[in-house]
Structure 1
Amino acid sequence: MYSAGTLATVVVGLVIPAYGLRRGVPGARGLLVASGVVTNAFVLLSEALRPGGDLVRAWRALRRGSRV
């Protein structure tokens, strides 16, 4: 539940420029690199390293659920 928003943002941020690249849209390669490398890396790092980040909370919930 916690990771759904973050992962959906990353996936959509990669799929749309990849589709544009496949269709031959000018500038799609640059958008794919910028979106994939820069934006998504920052999103994932901020959510994984921040104590209140969604990915940290998801990992904690998974770890708690496996002990039951």
Structure 2
Amino acid sequence: MNVKTRVLLTGGVIGMLIGILAGWLYLNSAAIEVDEEGMEHIAPPPAGDALKMGLGVLGVLRQLSG
């Protein structure tokens, strides 16, 4: 396996793990609502919070890339 493939696979695995951790943290902090049919729903994050999270991720990626 060449270097490019290893770097892409490693980055993909790290990204997957960070995504799972972010989902778990959001799930633990968000209120779960149950409708009359028994289906569970989680409210999406407010637009401002989603924008802050996205810009934070971009900032981290920018620092990692040099």
Q: TM-score, normalised by structure 2?
A: 0.33
Higher relative contact order (CA 8 A, sep 6+): 1
